[in-house]
Amino acid sequence: MKRTLIKEILLSGEAGTEVNIKGWVRTKRGSKSVNFIAMNDGTCLGNLQVVADVASFDEDTLKDTTTGAALSVTGKLVASQGSGQSVEIQAEKIEVLGTADPEKYPIQPKKHTLEFLRENAHLRMRTNTFSAVFRIRHAMIFAVHKFFSEKNFYNIHTPIITSSDAEGAGEMFRVTTLPFDETPRNEEGEVDYSQDFFGKSTNLTVSGQLEGELAAMALGQIYTFGPTFRAENSNTSRHLAEFWMIEPEMAFADLNDNMDLAEEFLKYLIQYALDNCNEDLEFLAKRQEEDEKNKPKEERNMNLIEKLQFVADNDFVRLTYTEAIDILRNSKPNKKGKFKYPVEGFGTDLQSEHERYLVEKKFKKPVILTDYPADIKAFYMRVNDDNKTVAAMDILFPQIGEIVGGSQREERLDVLEAKMDEMGIPKEEMSWYIDTRRFGGAPHAGFGLGFERLISFVTGMGNIRDVIPFPRAPKTCEF
Site for its own copies in 201-220 (CB under 8 A): 202, 204, 211, 214-215, 217-220
Provide the mask over 103-142, with x wherever binding to its own copies is found by CB under 8 A and - wherever it is not. -xx-x--------------xx-xx---xx--xx-xx--xx
> Least distance (Å) from its own copies to the CB of residue 407?
18
Q: Residues touching its own copies: how many (CB under 8 A)?
A: 105
Q: Which is nearer to its own copies, 244 or 372 (CB)?
A: 244
**Interacting residues with its own copies between 390 and 429 (CB under 8 A):** 411
Answer yes or no: are the C-beta atoms of 301 and 286 closer than 8 Å: no
- CA 164/CA 171 separation, integer angstroms: 13
Q: Which is nearer to its own copies, 96 or 324 (CB)?
A: 96
C-beta of 171: minimal distance to its own copies in Å? 8
Q: Does 324 bind its own copies (CB under 8 A)?
A: no
Type of residue at 119: E
Candidate ranges 237-245, 331-339, 387-395, 396-404; the one touching its own copies (CB under 8 A)? 237-245
**Residue 325 burial by Cβ neighbours in a 10 Å radius (0-12, 13-18, 19+):** buried
| Cα angle: 230, vertex 449, 369; to 5 degrees | 105
- Min separation Cβ 307 and its own copies, Å: 24
Give per-residue burial for 404-424: e unless 16+ CB within 10 Å, then b: bbbbbbbbeeeebeebbeeee
Taking CB under 8 A as the criterion, the residue among 36, 57, 198, 310 binding its own copies is 198
Residue 175: CB minimum distance to its own copies, A: 5
**Cα(235)–Cα(63) distance, integer angstroms:** 44
Find the helix or strand (DSSP H, E) in which 239 lies: none
Question: Which of 240, 148, 310, 124 shows the shortest CA–CA distance to 140?
Answer: 148
Q: Considering only the stretches 1-9, 30-38, 264-272, 316-324, report the one whose residues sit in contact with its own copies under the rule CB under 8 A.
A: 1-9
C-beta closer to its own copies: residue 324 or 430: 430
Which residues, numbered 437-466, are part of the site for its own copies (CB under 8 A)?
Answer: 437-443
In the complex, minimum distance from the CB of residue 229 to its own copies, in angstroms, rounded to a whole number: 8
For the bound state, the minimum distance from the C-beta of residue 475 to its own copies, rounded and expressed in Å, comes to 4
Site for its own copies contains 476 (CB under 8 A): yes
Residues 6+ apart with CB under 8 A from 289: 303
Q: Write the single-letter amino acid at 159.
A: P
Applying the rule CB under 8 A, the residues between 153 and 172 that interact with its own copies are: 154-164, 171
Segments of 67-114 assigned E as strands: 70-79, 87-98
* Cβ 448 vs Cβ 406: under 8 Å: yes
